[in-house]
Structure 1
Amino acid sequence: MRPWALFFAFLYINIHGQRYTSTWYNLDNGLPQSSAKAIVKDKYGFIWISTENGLVRFDGISFITFNNFKVNNLHFGEFIGEPLMDSITVLNNFEENKIIIKNRIPTLTRFYKKDKITFTNGDQFMHRVANNIISSNFYNDIHYFIQLKNSSYSFKEKNLIVYRDKNGKEAKIVIPFSNEDLSNIFMLNETLYINDLKSRKTYSINQGDMSVSKKPSLFNHPDTRIYWQQITNQTFIINHNSIYIVENQGAEPSLKFLVRYNEIGSHSYCSMFYDKDFDKLYLGTLNNGFNILSLSNFYVAKKEAEFSNNVCYASLPFSKNTIITEDGTEFAQNGIVHKYPFGNNDNYLMMYDKAGNILIRKRNSIIRFHKDSGYKKKDSTFIKQGFEAFLKSGNLYGFSLTNFSNNQLYLFKKEQFTNPDYVFNFKSFVNTFFQYSENEILVGNSDGLYSIILGKNTITPIYKNIHVKSIIRTKDHLIWIMTDKNGYYLLKNRKLVKMPNDKNGHLLSAHYILEDQYGFYWISSNNGLFKVPKKQLLEYAHNKNTSVFYYRYTKKDGFLTNEFNGSSQPNAYELETGTFVFPSMNGFVFFDPEKIKTYYPDRKKIFIERAKIGKSETVYFNHFLDLKNDYKTADILIDIPYFSNLDNLYPEAKISGRESSDWEPIPTGKELKYTINNLSPGDYTLKVRVLVSPNGEYEEKEVKFRIQPLFYQTLLFRVAFSIFILMVIIVIIQLTTNFLRIKNKALKQIVHNKNSELKETAFNLEMVKNNLQKETEYQKKLVETISHDITTPIRFISMLSQKLHESDDLELQKKYFDSIYKSSEQLYQFTLNLKEYTELYKAENIFEKQEYAISKILEIKRKLFCEIAKEKGTIIINTPEHTIYTKVNESILSAIIHNILDNAVKNTFDGEINLSLTENRQKTIITIQDTGTGMSTEQIAMYMNIFKNPNMETPSFKGKGLGLHMVIHLIKKIEAEINFKHNHPTGTIVEITLSKI
């Protein structure tokens, strides 16, 4: 017998079991199907699960299902292969297809005959044994074998095992064995172990050499169940709900206790894997999903009796490894050790006096339990009404009292508590005090921190507007101020330095702080227990630009609640054994700081290779991602195999390139991702860094990506467009130059022409000047004539009015009235003509926009003069041939006809006046013909001469009538012609000729 085979005699030493937390995953929260038939971990740190609906990769954060293989059968079985060689293979049911997991991605690969696990060799059924699950069934009519790298074990016949080495040499081992005993075997490296549960023996075969141990052990215990998986080289021993893992220490295997799990027999467990990197045990079932047991070195001691109050505040260290509470319960990490008869007391404050007696507050009294009586005897001291708390610091005892309007702090040097040595009054409630030096104390109140010099009745505020809960001195003699909802502070140089908060704000209500011997502080809070490097906090106190990284422990790490409790007196302790104790809302938490692990990502196992663009399927890329210009959002997925509390994962990312950003945290949710959106086209670099140690070290990864530009955003387009614009500019310049040359030549000609025109214009201006002078003279003479013509009628009317006033003869008066009426009528008509003439003289438009009928003017004027002519025995006849239209200014033409007709009426007695119209293609002729006294030949010649000679000096209008002179002037204005002729036998014919436009 080999000497190492004697290890079974001292194999198992019973130890207290680890605590654990259990998390189930199934179809409802990540798995594609509620079976986990095999579990393995690849070389990159990812957990792979074989299910009845594909393969699943788990990174501790999210599940990724791979079931889009081009196969009809997605029912997969056990894993085989070499994880460390990045080669894990799995077959589907009936061994139709083979999947290989390589580089973190499973792919369909070529299937060879040698890959089969079950096959026939002649008439013999062959089956390869690659694992030994709890519910394995083996049959004697099947030939089983175990395939190693260079050798194999075959189980052909009963009581016979054949070992074949790499050269094909066989060694036959004969032992009491049948195929049904295969459920009790396991492999450790190259050694086969066979357990005989009936005879309590264990056989070991190494390269064909056999050893046997006849000592009983857990390996060959009748109640033991064995789980072995070849690909992971892990073997689990399950005995009475306790789970052990087989370890290889040198040449001898040993058992490491993992956990006592009472539900191990309650489910159809078919796969197991222990991840020592994160201290987790993975259990897979056939129909209930996937269970993760997170093993914990935190121990929670509580009362197990029904209706027990496990809300813990005050306690005291009692022995090397126990504490005692206000009701006399002594706790160790595994539960209650002893119960002392303390009775019911206030559970907020406890302390030892100098003799080791325990002091506890009960309402307005202090109860003292005497150490020399084994804490069975007690006495009581009544303090007074309003007694809230008693405190101890240094060599001083203190009471806080309140009547809700005034608050007092009593300080005592002795333990009799009769007459206080010092009394201090405060407006706010006193929570705690701390003896800072021999003569100075610090007082923590509900509104701030104060300093008091003993012997002086002066209270000096140090920091206001914070609610101080406790003042703590750690082993390094630093003083910490714990507050309610304001975080915690370091007292440095008599000033408070606020410490940074954790990323979720849980340390705003920090309770207590303990320092371990490994350079870390442990801080309890209302939401978790925090571990932080002491060095980082002290560096932050010196320079607030430095970073502080907290590590948070929660219920997932083994607590029963995340809420811890605090007190004005110390209520968290380091026991003599080095064990820490913190009170919580559900029991006391015990732990050894040395055994509590912190988990950080492996710097070599951070991968950025997946992206999800919009709502499309996930795509894989290798260091470079090309995004089209029509993308909306792109999620860059960050894969980190991290199987601990996500609060302790610190991923950050930033963008550099055409647009840049600073480091920003990546949310840790169902998946780690950095979302790209609203970036302009260009080349970018995404940098991702992850905290990989408590010292603040980061591992940085980067991936480059490009957002493709639109066609008009490309460099080629910009260059082409620039060349096009340059050519356009050149063409424009050339055309402009040619145009300017032509323009210059034309300008020279224009200048020459202008010179000629200017000469002609100067001549014309001279003529215009003369005409203006004549026009001015015309206007002057016109005014003189109007004044002369108006003066005579007005003087005549005035004379008739005087005679009318002096005469009494009615007939004569009637005659005067008739004369005045006619004179006034004539004067009125004159003034109307005057107003119309002055307006016409200033008119600029000599043509209308729309045509009108000339006969309309003739008819209006006929009606106007009809009655006047009738008084003179004259009739006016309007005989137009047909309706004739013109665009000549209607007002001007009306004034012309009015004056000519007025003259005809004035000079015609007992006769007739004819108005007529004729036209041809070029002209329209208006004829006014009367039978009156008519114009003399001299008058006709004079007016025709005035019309035909525009440069003729205008004669004076005095005494010669206004009408015809104005008519001639208006005829010229409308570019018409006028002609005066004798009417035989008497009268005058006036013809006005209008040109058609």
Structure 2
Amino acid sequence: MSFAHMRVWAVFFAFLYLNIYGQRYTSTWYNIDNGLPQSSAKAIAKDKYGFIWISTENGLVRYDGISFVTFNNFKIDNLHFGMFIGDPVRDSITTLTNFQENKIIIKNRFPRLSKLTPGDRVSYTKGNQLVQRIANNTISSNFYNDVQYFIQLKSSKYIFREKDAVIYKNERGIETRISLPFTNEDLNSIFVLNETLFINDFQTRKTYSIHHGKLSVYDQPSLFNDPETKIYWQQITNQSFIINRNNIYIVEESPNGPSLKFLVKYKEIGSHSYYSMYYGKNFNNLYLGTLNNGLNILHLSNMYVARKEADFANNVSNASLPFSNNTIITEDGTEFGKNGIVHKYAFGNNDNYLMMYDNSGNILIRKRKSIIRFYKNSGYKKKDSTYIKEGFEDFMKSGNLYALSLLNSSRYQLQIFKKDQFTKPDYIYSFKSPVTAFFQYSEGHVLVGNNEGLYSLMLDKNTVRPLIKNISVKSIVKTKDNLIWIMTNKNGFYLFKDRKLVKMPNDRNNYLQSAHSILEDQQGFYWISSNNGLYKVPKKQLIQYAENRKSPVFYYRFTKKDGFTSNEFNGNSQPNAYALENGEFIFPSMDGFVFFNPAQVQTYYPDPKKIYIERAKIGNAETVYFNTVLDLKNDYKTADIFIDIPYFSNFENLYIEAKISGEEESDWEAVALGKDLKYTISNLSPGDYTLKVRILASPDGKYEEKAVQFRIEPYFFQTLLFKILLSIIFLTGIIIIIMLMTNLLRTKNKALKRIVHNKNSKLKETSLTLEVVKNDLQKETEYQKKLVETISHDITTPIRFIAMLSQKLHESDDVELQKKYFDSIYKSSEQLYQFTLNLKEYTELYKAENIFEEQEYPVNRILEIKKKLFWEIAKERETVIINSTETNINSRVSESILSAIIHNVIDNAVKNTFKGEISLNIIEDDQKIIIIIDDTGTGMSTEQIAIYMNLFKNPKWKTPSFKGKGLGLHMVIHLVKKINAEISFSQNFPKGTIVEITLKKN
């Protein structure tokens, strides 16, 4: 910072020593009794999602303005947390436990235990030197000269390791020594604003600033270097506070250097062990954390209460008048400004209910049965008195007319005057109850209200017409937009438009049933006082409601939390809320006058981007977090779904509605505003649901809507499957009943027919039935016979071979030869055993309807299996079986059928080949797979080949004929046709037979 910039400070600080009237505040304490897990608040920070985080000696606390959520169930023994470090903008807030044992990272609105690395430590030993990081400067910090301190910036750091100097280390690690009178004890006076370090010397009244290693000096006294100043700085929030003579300022950045914004005068700042501070600008809250008394939240307000501070003073405010551009005056002569009493006029004791100005600006006040007039031209020192008469109740003024209300016998008389001398009335009207409101609507038209209703008076015609009955009118107010409003004692308020009354909607608490006064500001809002709070409402919402009676109206309620001392406001027959010339509004209350500038009083609405629905509590269980869908067991009783909104103002101004859709539906309903914002689910039937939540996010009535899914698991008897099964059973039962009834009718029909038919018909029918059964039995017997023949055919060769080997074994005495025979018998028996294991599948070959497998299989696997089965038999005949297939060739044709075909073909080849060779091979192309089995045996004659090819080509041949020779080949031809394949027989040269089985790929 340059010296030119420092000179700007002098101009700014010159004004800081003037008398500053600060914002009012309301103070709310939180400790272990009402929200915190422990009565310490050692650090306070705000995350990027809008939540306030508090570090305590018993866990971390998240605060959303309504409820505190404590996190202390980490799997660690030490829950004593300290300062916050990190960067909220990057969604990373870090804190360490005592003695740097554990590290917690707050990310995505949730704290998690993280791995502690050496770089996370804020203090460590370097040689014999203790090195410690400074990330905040608390009001009661202690710094020692034998410790090396440093401040870590984004890419550089300041190091304090020697007297009369500060070391600046840039991002490249290059150190610069900056000479200035400094010791570690002066660290109590430092703060950092962005990347600039400020050091204040309270003794010499100088302020030093170091920006990227460059030193600037300001040698003039200021609040920064005032010996009465205490400094609080927290790096993670980039906030610094100056506390001077109970005045609290926040340091702000300006083009010419740091500036101070006055926040509040807080006389109790030194009364507690304050250790942490944070200013929430968006909601104008100042958070003050202590070491042992909990958290104190100051809500700063631009509303002021002017009242008498004397003991036993009566501060019930009734009658008043605007007096100057920024003051009012009461019936006892007290002139109030927003900061209290300005002057006291000697008005004496008067009735504190009525006062007004006459045409000359004199002040008129009622005193018993007389009117006292204080003259403006005498400075309100001179006065006179006009006696009215016995029964004098009230006087009023509207437009250019004056009125008196008097009790005359048993009737109440209204006297109307054109002049302010109250001598002879120009008009007289009689009513059953005293007139409480008087308003000149036009030159000859007057509105009058009393405890029985509202009346229209036409002066020229001397007529009285009731407009509405059975309401107690309090006052009639005309706002700047020339609209007329009727305020009542307990019937709400009305708009008088086109000579008709329109009842305005109440607030949700019905406090506006007793509305007092209404004022219009420059921003398009009405302000309405009531017996319980001050309300602000957009003017256009009331006008739209007056037009259609349907448009929603959203009232914003101000209470004692916003700066005034009583929620109960006051009102009488005369409008007693005013807009002063300086723009300030004044509303009388039961404890002083409330002053405020409506343009400076903020209303607070939730940030539409910061509404979270991610927590739930099922029954009495621990709170659970969910991302997109909340799953509820079918035995749940209740489930609370929390609505988390960072809203740090009066939560009574939240408008939150919710509805569910799904298996059951509901309309929009208001969410109760209590300790927590939550929607409770109970007694819902199982199914999938959507919870929609909408929140008023602006005074214009715009809602922000959020939706989450939740699912309630059904019991089995509540599932769709069960309902379908039950429906099927029910329908089946109905069908069965219908069928039984139909069969019963058919049976009766048949019984009648039987009587008609003769016995010959019965015998014929029986004979036909027996013939069918006989044919079926004959077919089944023939099938079983053929099946047994086929199986016998397939196992004959290996059994005959085993018998032959057994005979040779019996006849031989050669041990080696016997061993060879035993080995052959074993291998043949093993293969025969494997074959018989598949007999069940084999028996189904003729009946099989499905000729395709679900998955492909390698065909060469069948060749290899059959090769092993017949190997020993062929070997005994001095025949070699060769499988030439090298790669897998896959097919989906029924493996069991194809295996039976190949078995029979190889079996015939083995039987007819001696001292020869049997070759097995498979070839394929895009359309087909060809299995080739050739031998060098006796071979088939040309006539035999022709017979079998004719059998294959004959379309009428459906079942195999097992009579005569060639039993196996008959079965093969039948099975080949069954799988839609082809077979051919040809002679092998010089001798033998070639069999080709062609399988179609498509």
- TM-score scaled to structure 1, two decimals? 0.74
Question: What is aligned with 1:71?
Answer: 76
- In the other structure, the counterpart of 1:5 is 6
Opposite residue 355 of structure 1, the aligned amino acid is S
What per-residue deviation string (whole Å, max 9, x for no partner) do you get for residues 184-238 of structure 1? Answer: 0000000000000000000000000000000100000001000000000000000
| Corresponding position of 1:187 | 192
- For this pair of structures, how many residues does the alignment match? 754
Corresponding position of 2:577: 572
Tell me what 1:407 maps to: 412
The 3-state SS of whatever aligns with 1:436 is strand
Equivalent position amino acid for 1:692 in 2: A
RMSD between superposed Cα atoms in Å: 1.7
Stretch deviating more after TM superposition (420-429 or 223-232):
420-429
Task: State the partner residue of 2:607.
Answer: 602
Amino acid at match of 2:10: A
d(CA) in 2 for partners of 1:22 and 1:93? 31
The residue that corresponds to 1:714 in the other structure is: 719
Alpha-carbon separation, structure 2, partners of 1:157 and 1:404 = 96
2:333 pairs, out of 328, 335, 345, with 328
Residues 235-282 of structure 1, C-alpha deviation per residue, up to 9 Å, x if partnerless?
000001000000012351100000000000000000000000000000
Cα distance in 2 between the residues matched to 1:488 and 1:733 = 72
Q: Deviations over 1:69-93 (max 9, x none)?
A: 0000000000111111110011010
Equivalent-residue separation in structure 2 for 1:572 and 1:665 (angstroms):
33
Once the two structures are superposed, the pairs formed by residues 867-906 of structure 1 within 5 Å of their partners are none
AA of the residue aligned to 1:349: L
TM-superposed deviation, 1:457: 3.2
**Counterpart AA for 1:39:** I
Partners of 1:653 and 1:663 within 8 A in 2: yes
User: Partners in 2 of 1:397 and 1:725 — Cα distance?
Assistant: 87
Q: In structure 2, give the amino acid aligned to 1:48.
A: W
Which residue among 295, 319, 322 is the counterpart of 2:324?
319
- Amino acid across the alignment from 1:647: E
Q: Is the 8 A contact 1:301 1:336 kept in 2?
A: yes
Question: Superposed, which structure 2 residues align to 1:123-202 within 5 Å?
Answer: 123-202=128-207
1:327 partner SS: coil
1:686 aligns with 2:683: no
Indicate the residue corresponding to 1:275 in structure 2: 280
Q: Deviations over 1:703-754 (max 9, x none)?
A: 011111111222233334445555666666667666666665556567899x
Taking the aligned partners of 1:423 and 1:489, their CA distance within structure 2 comes to: 27
Residue of structure 2 equivalent to 1:497: 502
Structure 1 residue identity aligned to 2:493: Y
Alpha-carbon distance change, 742 to 398 in structure 1, aligned in 2, over 3 angstroms: closer
Aligned with residue 305 of structure 2, among 277, 293, 300: 300
Kindly state the Cα deviation for residue 501 of structure 1 after the two structures are TM-superposed.
0.4
Match of 2:215 in 1: 210
2:786 is aligned to none
Equivalent-residue separation in structure 2 for 1:263 and 1:613 (angstroms): 43
Secondary structure of the residue aligned to 1:518 is coil
Counterpart in the other structure of 1:946: none
For 2:91 and 2:409, the matched residues in 1 are separated by 72
Quote the residue 2:810 is aligned against: none
**Cα separation, 2, equivalents of 1:196 and 1:301:** 40
Q: 2:439 aligns with which of 420, 434, 445?
A: 434
Q: Post-superposition shift, 1:160?
A: 1.7
Taking every aligned residue pair, what percent have the same amino acid on both sides?
70
**SS across alignment from 2:293:** coil
Contact 1:132 1:229 in 2 (8 A): yes
What is the one-letter code of the residue matched to 2:719?
Answer: T
In 2, Cα distance between equivalents of 1:315 and 1:556: 25
Work out the CA distance in 2 between the residues paired with 1:390 and 1:499.
28
Distance in 1, matches of 2:551 and 2:49, equals 32
Tell me the alpha carbon deviations over residues 947-967 of structure 1, each in whole angstroms, 9 at most, x when there is no partner: xxxxxxxxxxxxxxxxxxxxx
Alignment of 1:784-933 (within 5 A): none
Select the residue among 283, 296, 301 that pairs with 1:291.
296
Q: Which residue number in structure 1 is paired with residue 516 of structure 2?
A: 511
2:522 counterpart of 1:521: no
Normalised to the residue count of structure 2, the TM-score between the two structures is: 0.74
Distance 1:752 1:543, change over 3 A: same
Match of 2:112 in 1: 107
Unaligned regions of 5+ residues in structure 2, if any? 759-1002
Q: What's 1:238 paired with?
A: 243
Counterpart CA distance in 1 for 2:197 and 2:218 is: 14
Match in the other structure for 1:18: 23
Name the larger-Rg structure.
Answer: 1
Aligned CA distance change for structure 1 residues 457 and 728 (closer, same or farther; 3 Å): closer
What residue in structure 2 maps to residue 639 of structure 1?
644
What is the Cα deviation at residue 403 of structure 1? 4.8
Contact 1:365 1:381 (8 Å CA) reproduced? yes
| C-alpha contact (below 8 Å) 1:25/1:290 kept by paired residues | yes
From 660, 668, 676, the counterpart of 1:663:
668
| Aligned counterparts of 1:187 and 1:646: Cα–Cα separation in 2 | 35
Aligned partner (choices 456, 476, 487) of residue 481 of structure 2: 476
User: Residues of 2 paired with 1:404 and 1:288: CA distance?
Assistant: 66
Q: Return 356-365 or 414-423, whichever deviates more.
A: 414-423
Kindly provide the amino acid, as one letter, of the partner of residue 326 in structure 2. N
User: For residue 185 of structure 2, what is the amino acid of its counterpart?
Assistant: E
CA distance in 1, matches of 2:144, 2:409: 83
Letter of the 2:12 partner, please give it: L
Give the equivalent residue in structure 1 for 2:358: 353
Whole-angstrom CA distance in 1 between matches of 2:573 and 2:66:
40
Q: Is structure 2 residue 655 aligned with structure 1 residue 650?
A: yes
- 2:855 corresponds to which residue? none
Amino acid in the other structure paired with 1:563: E
1:817-860 Cα offsets, whole Å, 9 max, x none, are: xxxxxxxxxxxxxxxxxxxxxxxxxxxxxxxxxxxxxxxxxxxx
Q: Any idea what SS the aligned residue of 1:11 has? A: helix
The one-letter code matched in structure 1 to 2:40 is S
Counterpart-to-counterpart distance in 2, 1:690 and 1:249 = 36
User: SS at 2:187's partner residue?
Assistant: helix
Question: Structure 1 residues 180, 456: CA separation in 2 closer, same or farther (over 3 Å shift)?
Answer: same
Task: List per-residue Cα deviations over 1:336-389 (Å, max 9, x = no partner).
Answer: 110000000011111111111100000100000011111111100000111011
Q: Is contact 2:516-2:528 (8 Å) kept?
A: yes
Indicate the SS of the match to 1:416: coil
Q: Is the 8 A contact 1:8 1:216 kept in 2?
A: no
Residue from 121, 124, 137 that aligns with 2:126:
121
Task: Tell me if structure 2 keeps the 8 A contact 1:11–1:217.
Answer: no
SS of the equivalent of 1:593 reads coil
The one-letter code matched in structure 1 to 2:507 is D
What secondary structure does 2:223 align onto? coil
For 2:755 and 2:32, how far apart are their aligned partners in 1? Answer: 95
Aligned equivalent of 2:628 = 623
Q: Give 1:96's aligned residue.
A: 101
Per-residue deviation, residues 874-907 of structure 1 (Å, max 9, x unmatched): xxxxxxxxxxxxxxxxxxxxxxxxxxxxxxxxxx
Aligned to 1:394: 399
> Hey, what's the Cα distance between the residues in 2 that align with 1:539 and 1:661?
28
SS at match of 1:642: coil
The match for 1:250 is 255
Supply the distance in 2 between the matched residues of 1:64 and 1:442 (Cα, whole angstroms).
56
Instruction: Say which is worse superposed, 733-742 or 653-662, in terms of deviation.
Output: 733-742
Q: Is it true that 1:53 corresponds to 2:54 in the alignment?
A: no
Contact 1:608 1:638 survives alignment (8 Å): yes
Partner letter of residue 118 of structure 2? K
Name the CA distance, whole Å, in 1 between partners of 2:737 and 2:303: 85
